[in-house]
Amino acid sequence: MNQIEFVNSIKPFKDKVFRLAKRLLVSTEEAEDATQDVLVKLWNKNEVLDKYGSLEAYAMTITKNHCLDVLKSKRASNLQIVHNNYAEKGAELQQKVEDSDSWRWVEKWINDLPEQQKLIIQMRDIEQYEFEDIAKILEMNETAIRVALSRARKTIREKLTNTHNYGII
């Protein structure tokens, strides 16, 4: 695979690699570094990339593993997971404030989830991956993915309901 073919094959999912890295590493700089590292790893394996059924799933697996390695390093103790590309246009100012507050709570609760559930929420609800692809990336079966996603959503939903109903009779 030459350089142009390589660039054309990774272009459709390069942003997803960055977003997953950003979700896991928080820091934009760390995510950019991780994305670059993943792309270099892919380039170094460009002769054998054709044998993978889904280059995107392979790239996401490499990204996940690379980011988890970074998180395990001494730098990881200062990182947290943040998601900040939620924005609702056209809402009234009060609604925007309420939405922003709710989203901050949801971010906090996602951060409090077990690592596996964080990854599954990111891939399914934010990146819109299919269960089959998530299962390949995380090396789990689809049923386990569905169960973990359901538990994560239930946890967040319960906390959101309790927070917004607090003080209401």
Here the CATH number for the domain that contains residue 55 is 1.10.1740.10
Domain shared by 106 and 58, yes or no: no
Q: How far is CA 135 from CA 36, 102, 126, in A?
A: 24, 30, 16
Q: Is residue 85 part of a domain?
A: no
Domain shared by 3 and 72, yes or no: yes
Domain count, the chain: 2
pLDDT at residue 148, rounded to an integer? 93
Q: Is residue 14 part of a domain?
A: yes
Mean pLDDT score, 21-37: 88
Which structural domain, as residue segments, surrounds residue 110?
90-169
Q: For residue 117, which of 139, 145, 137 has the smallest C-alpha distance?
A: 145
Domain shared by 163 and 104, yes or no: yes
pLDDT at residue 71, rounded to an integer? 79
Report DSSP state, residue 86. Answer: -
**How big is the CA angle at 123 (ends 128 and 59), to the nearest 5 degrees?**
105
55 or 77, which is more confident?
A: 55
pLDDT digits (tens, 9 = 90+) for 60-118: 989 988 888 887 774 445 444 454 554 545 546 666 677 677 778 888 888 889 989 98
Domain shared by 76 and 95, yes or no: no
Q: Is residue 126 part of a domain?
A: yes
State the pTM of this model: 0.54
Q: How far apart are CA 21 and CA 19, in angstroms?
A: 5
Domain shared by 100 and 65, yes or no: no
Say if residue 26's pLDDT is above 90: no
Q: For residue 120, which of 108, 136, 106, 104 has the smallest C-alpha distance?
A: 136
pLDDT at residue 164, rounded to an integer? 67
Here the CATH number for the domain that contains residue 106 is 1.10.10.10
Say if residue 167's pLDDT is above 60: no
Supply the DSSP string of 13-55, one letter for each residue: GHHHHHHHHHHHH--HHHHHHHHHHHHHHHHHTTTTGGGSS-H
Domain shared by 75 and 103, yes or no: no
Domain shared by 55 and 106, yes or no: no
Asked which of 46, 80, 114 is the last residue of a domain, the reply is 80
pLDDT at residue 79, rounded to an integer? 44
**How big is the CA angle at 118 (ends 167 and 57), to the nearest 5 degrees?**
150
What pLDDT band is residue 25 in, cutting at 50, 70 and 90? confident
Say if residue 47's pLDDT is above 90: no
Q: Is residue 76 part of a domain?
A: yes
Domain shared by 167 and 100, yes or no: yes
Asked which of 39, 60, 80 is the last residue of a domain, the reply is 80
pLDDT at residue 92, rounded to an integer? 65
Q: For residue 23, which of 104, 100, 119, 133 has the smallest C-alpha distance?
A: 119
Q: Considering the chain, what percentage of its residues have pLDDT values greater than 90?
A: 24
